Amino acid sequence: MKTDSNQSLKQLIESGTFIVAPGVYDGLSAKIADRMGFHALYMTGYGTVASRLGVPDAGIATYSEMVEGVKCVASDTNTPVIADADTGYGGLLNVRNTVRGYEAAGATAIQLEDQEVPKKCGHTLGRRVVPMEDMVMKVKVAVDARESEETLIIARTDARTEHGLDEALRRAEAYAAAGADILFVESPESIEEMEKIGNSLDVPLLANMVPGGGRTPDISADQLKQFGFNIAIYPGVGFCAAAAAVETAFSYLKDQGSVIGLDLPQMNITEMHSLMGFEEVWEFERKFGQRE
C-alpha cells in the first residue's frame, strides 16, 4: 500500500488533511510529482490516453492499456496514487477485474463513473449516464473486489450536465449507500452548486479543477475545504503545461535550426540523469563491471 508520511490516503482523509493531487500521466510526470511532497497523485485518464496513444479520452483506451498506465506511475513512486478507471471497462465482471488489477498495480484509490460506454471526457457535452441501479451494482462489486480496506473506491456521477444537480446528488447518495468511500460529482457549474454538494453529502468529496475552459469554477483549496470537500484533483496541470512547452521548443527548433537562445525553463541533461536514476545504474556498473 502506498503511503505518504507513514499515512495511507484513508488515514489522511480521516485526519482532516485536505489533499491536492496533480494529474500525472506517465513515468516522467509521476517521478517529478512524487518528489514534490503532495499527499496524492492523480493518474488522469485524459492525460494517460493522450500521452500513450495520442487520441481523445473518449472510451478508446482499453483496460490493458490503462492498467499498464497505473503500473507506470505507481511502480517507482512513494505517493498514494488515485487512478481513473473510467466505467470499469465493461460489465460487473469487468469491474471486479479492473479493481483487482488496478489495486495490484499500485492504485490507492480507484475512480469509477456512471457513464454509458463509450464514455466521454468530463466537462464535455453529450455525456450519457447508465441507470442509477446499474452503477449501484458496480460500486457494490468494486467494494467487494478490493483486497484491502485501505484501497478506496471513488464513485463519480456525470449526471449534472444533462440531468441537473438534484439528479446528480440523488445518484451520489445512492452510491454512498452502496459503499463508495469518496463521491465525485463531476462538473458542477457554479460556486453555489459546489457549496450545495458539500452541504448535501456526508461522505468524503472530490472536486475536479479544470482551469481555463472547464465547466466548474476554479476555487481555492481553502474554499473547497470550507464547503466540505476533501480532495482537489488537477488532471490537466501537467500535460497541458508539457504540451505547450514541447510545442514552443519544437517550433523554435524548426524556425531557428537549433535551440541556442531558446527562452524556456527546462532541466539540463545532468538534472534529467539524476531524476531518472542514472546514479544507481552507474553504481551497479562500478560494482559488477561493464559487460561487453
pLDDT at 59: 86
Note the pLDDT tens digit of each residue in 47-74.
Answer: 999 999 999 888 899 999 999 999 999 9
Q: Average pLDDT, stretch 169-179? A: 98
List the domain range (segments joined by +) for residue 190. 9-242
CA angle at 186 for the pair 112 and 9, rounded to the nearest 5°: 55
Mean pLDDT of the chain: 93
Number of domains in the chain: 1
pLDDT at 58: 87
Residue 281 lies in a domain: no
Note the pLDDT tens digit of each residue in 198-222.
Answer: 999 999 999 999 877 678 888 999 9
Q: Is the model's pLDDT at 5 over the cut of 70? A: no
Note the pLDDT tens digit of each residue in 138-153.
Answer: 999 999 999 999 999 9
pLDDT at 245: 96
pLDDT at 4: 42
Quote the cell numbers at residue 45: 485518464
Q: How much of the chain, in percent, has pLDDT values that exceed 70?
A: 96
pLDDT at 291: 59
Residue 56 lies in a domain: yes
Between 126 and 83, the higher pLDDT residue? 83
Residue 107 lies in a domain: yes
pLDDT at 154: 98
Residue 78 lies in a domain: yes
Residue 93 lies in a domain: yes
pTM of the model: 0.92
Residue 265 lies in a domain: no
Report the CATH number that the domain containing residue 199 is assigned in CATH. Answer: 3.20.20.60
Burial of 92 (0-12, 13-18, 19+ CB in 10 A): middle
Q: Is the model's pLDDT at 275 over the cut of 60? A: yes
Q: What are phi and psi of 238, to 5 degrees?
A: -85, -55
Other CB atoms within 10 A of residue 263 CB: 6
Note the pLDDT tens digit of each residue in 10-30.
Answer: 999 999 999 999 999 999 999
Residue 152 lies in a domain: yes
Residue 68 lies in a domain: yes
Handedness of CA 209, 54, 82, 155 (dihedral sign): positive
Between 56 and 166, the higher pLDDT residue? 166
Which H or E run includes 249? helix 236-256
Between 122 and 131, the higher pLDDT residue? 131
Q: pLDDT category, 6, cuts 50, 70, 90?
A: low
Taking CA atoms, 4 is separated from 36, 41, 108, 199, in Å, by: 12, 11, 11, 29
